[in-house]
Amino acid sequence: MTNSFSDEYFMRQALVEARLAAEENEVPIGAVIVCGDRIIARAHNQTGRLNDPTAHAEMLAITSATASLGAKYLTDCRLYVTVEPCVMCAGAIGWAQLPALIYGAPDEKRGFTVYAPGALHPKTEVRSGIMEAECAAAIKAFFRDRR
């Protein structure tokens, strides 16, 4: 039996968002922000729909979460995202002072760990590889179908 509030549970919720992105012909990356055991924000990539290169899942989720809490810092929250954040998103995660970033698949081409490993807040805990195979499969299928 699975703990209903495990990292896998929340990553499954992020994968739901990633599927919504794919259905909208967006790069299938999804994110959820959790405070305690409650999801306070969910988002997926919408760069095409919004005609905005900054409309990444993480950015939209952070904006939604800060609005939900009425605070600019997310110091009691965790961000779950299906793919390793890019440098821009890592910077926003750092500025939001999120204490935990949990992601599924690495991004060797655009991920922050390659280009800006110091972008996060120094106290941010990073856990990677959560449901990595499922997260990677969503991205691979999306780009394979477009070739």
Cβ within 8 Å of residue 60, ≥6 positions away: 31, 43, 44, 46
The CA–CA distances, whole Å, from 70 to 74, 78, 147 equal 10, 16, 43
Active site residue 134: no
Which one of 17, 26, 58, 84 is the catalytic residue? 58
Beta strands 125-128 and 100-105 are parallel
> What is the set of active-site residues?
58
